[in-house]
Amino acid sequence: MRPRSEKHQGRPDTKREEPFRPRKPAPQGQGKPDTRNLGPRAIALDAVGEVFSGKAPLDHAIASHPDHNRLEVRDRAFARAIAAAAVRRKGALEAALAVFLDKPLPQTADRGRHVLLCGAAELLVLDNAPHAVVDAWVTLMNADEKTARFAGLANAVLRRVSERGRGAFDGADPLADLPDWLAARWAKTYGEKTARAMARARAGVPPLDLTPRPGIDAGKLAGDLGGELLPTGSIRLEDAGDPTLLPGFAEGRWWVQDAAAALPARLLGPKPGERIADLCAAPGGKTLQIAASGAETFAIDRAKKRLPPVHENLERVALNAHVEAADATQWTPDAPLDAVLLDAPCSATGTLRRRPDVAWAKEEADIASLAEVQSRLLDAAFAMLKPGGRLVYCTCSLEPEEGEDQIAAFLERTGSARLDPVKPGELPELETAIDSQGAVRTRPDMWASLGGLDGFYIARIVKG
């Protein structure tokens, strides 16, 4: 294989990666200074391999890497930035690389492909200095006995990408960054124009959204943080860095929560003295919203290992809730509830701005199996309500089977349930997200001038 100067249309396969067998000492070995920042890059490379082989989510792959804790905070952030860029912009990066390759690397050379992908991500997404980037990734290519034979290729291709790869990268179809099955679904469901807008909106690094604690002057808090108060009450920050270092975190004046994720609890309208359950509650953002209203709050999640953040967040913001590890389809309150919020487990395709690896962790068949779980949870949640009680069902999915179709089937089989339409005034500057039935469908391309938001489906139901 040799570099070439004509565009190649094929896309490399990403089959399961083979174990890394170093042929040289590790980049940070023997206490020598990591003058070329090889440590963070090596971690990013391994994490990308974990994601595309289906072994681990991106953040887990990085945090569980044996060298992760040896890095300074800024280097950990650097490792994640590289890996996230490579995963998020995979299709466009491959298009730029293909221009300078005679043919893709062989199927047995996954790690070599990932070296090129990460190097191109630094050059075209992060815009890092070309000389340092090329030198570092050629060194890492040469450090593995299975990829060392591609070191010369990496040197030539990455140099050409840095000089002439921008056009192919910028001109790539945004849908190429997604798995083929997901791109096809979005095009069929939303039309190609909207699907491309959605894919383009999830291609950039998202801002940080915060939910201010009730009683806090949100406008003043936004000013103190250098952020923007969004129409629905969230605060949005650009380039915020580590949120735990921001003013007001330790004092519990706010918590991290995407603006779209904050909508279900707001549309539920919890009131002081009500008894409300948050089902599938972890990590607890919606639990905090409900508890902050003064309602008696029950936070239920099946996975006990996911509950510590719920406890920690409640303690930090000085709020109370009954937190319990239980299967929501089996859990029964001691008396009928005033309201239930069900944030059902789903494919999470609406969260790709923040979690780009989710697209590669799912398969199309997962949607049908998740829809079955959602159906059981809906029936169980509705049974917990007293007459006149209200249920808000939501998923962070863009797939109709987990949203519109799910609620249509539920209403058809449940005679005592009726949809309570969301009114335009409840969603300022998001009125177009309300569908003809009065449910809510947010998409990544909405609020484009404000930085977009996650994809959610939200339906409010009343028990007759």
DSSP character string of 38-76: HHHHHHHHHHHHHHHTTSS-HHHHHHTSTTGGGS-HHHH
Interval 441-460 mean pLDDT: 96
The answer to whether 170 is a known ligand-binding residue is no
Confidence of residue 35 (pLDDT cuts 50, 70, 90): low
140-143-147-151 Cα dihedral, nearest 10 degrees: 60
388-398 in b/e form (b: 16+ CB < 10 A) is: ebbbbbbbbbb
Interval 112-123 mean pLDDT: 98
The answer to whether 227 is a known ligand-binding residue is no
Half-sphere exposure of residue 88: CA atoms within 13 angstroms, side-chain side? 25
pLDDT score at 4: 46
d(CA 277, CA 312): 19
pLDDT score at 367: 97
The answer to whether 264 is a known ligand-binding residue is no
The answer to whether 421 is a known ligand-binding residue is no
Higher-confidence residue of 147 and 1: namely 147
d(CA 409, CA 430): 26
Burial grade of 171 (CB within 10 A; 0-12, 13-18, 19 or more): exposed
d(CA 334, CA 326): 14
The β-bridge relationship of strands 254-256 and 208-212 is antiparallel
Let me know if 394 is a catalytic residue: no
Asked if residue 324 lies in contact with residue 298, where contact means CB atoms within 8 angstroms, the answer is yes
Residue listed under structure tokens 């996230």: 84
Interval 103-129 mean pLDDT: 95
Structure tokens belonging to residue 234: 């969230």
What superfamily would CATH give domain 208-463?
A: Vaccinia Virus protein VP39 (3.40.50.150)
User: Which residues are paired to 298 by β-bridges?
Assistant: 277, 322
> What's the topology of domain 6-172?
N-utilizing Substance Protein B Homolog; Chain A (1.10.940)
Residue listed under structure tokens 């062989």: 106
pLDDT score at 25: 39
d(CA 117, CA 58): 15
Do 6-172 and 208-463 have matching folds? Answer: no
Burial grade of 98 (CB within 10 A; 0-12, 13-18, 19 or more): buried
Exactly one of 118, 346, 394, 396 is catalytic; which is it? 396
Is the pLDDT score of 370 beyond 80? yes
d(CA 76, CA 26): 17
Structure tokens belonging to residue 244: 């735990």
443-446-448-449 Cα dihedral, nearest 10 degrees: -150
Please state which of the ranges 48-52, 144-148, 239-243, 300-304 shows the lowest mean pLDDT. 239-243
Asked if residue 455 lies in contact with residue 439, where contact means CB atoms within 8 angstroms, the answer is no
How do the domains of the chain map onto residue ranges? 6-172, 208-463
